[in-house]
Amino acid sequence: MTRLPSVLYLYFMGGDEDFLIHLTCTSTNQLRDIVATEVSMHPVVASTRTHIIYEHALGADHMDHLTGFDEVRRPIGPSRDFPGVFEQ
């Protein structure tokens, strides 16, 4: 899974779900295609559940370099930690 170009993070979890795969997509159609053809078709995957993130805000521990609340609510874009990840 980590070799798919859309995968940002793969989390191994405890609880009801075994894995959380954080993907980046350009559209809901692309998300559907990745889940249907790559994730769901994997032999160890029994089921999937999809959630869409509409907005992203940084947590307090990551705000030392920010100038104010408006910057916390900025759209996801290139960051100092992951340059080029969200560029189109």
Name the pTM for this structure.
0.58
Asked if the structure places residue 53 within a domain, the reply is: yes
Give the distance from CA 57 to its chain's centroid.
13
Cβ pair 39, 45 in contact under 8 A? yes
In sequence order, the β-bridge partners of residue 23 are: 7
Q: pLDDT tens-digit profile of 7-33?
A: 888 888 888 888 888 888 888 899 999
Cα gap 79→52, rounded to integer Å: 20
**Residue 18 belongs to some domain of the structure:** yes
Q: Is 6 exposed, middle or buried (0-12, 13-18, 19+ CB in 10 A)?
A: middle
Residue 86 domain-assigned (yes or no): no
| 3-state secondary structure (DSSP) of residue 75 | coil
What is the domain range of residue 28? 7-72
pLDDT digits (tens, 9 = 90+) for 47-80: 999 988 887 776 666 666 667 666 666 665 555 5
Query: Domain count of the chain?
Result: 1
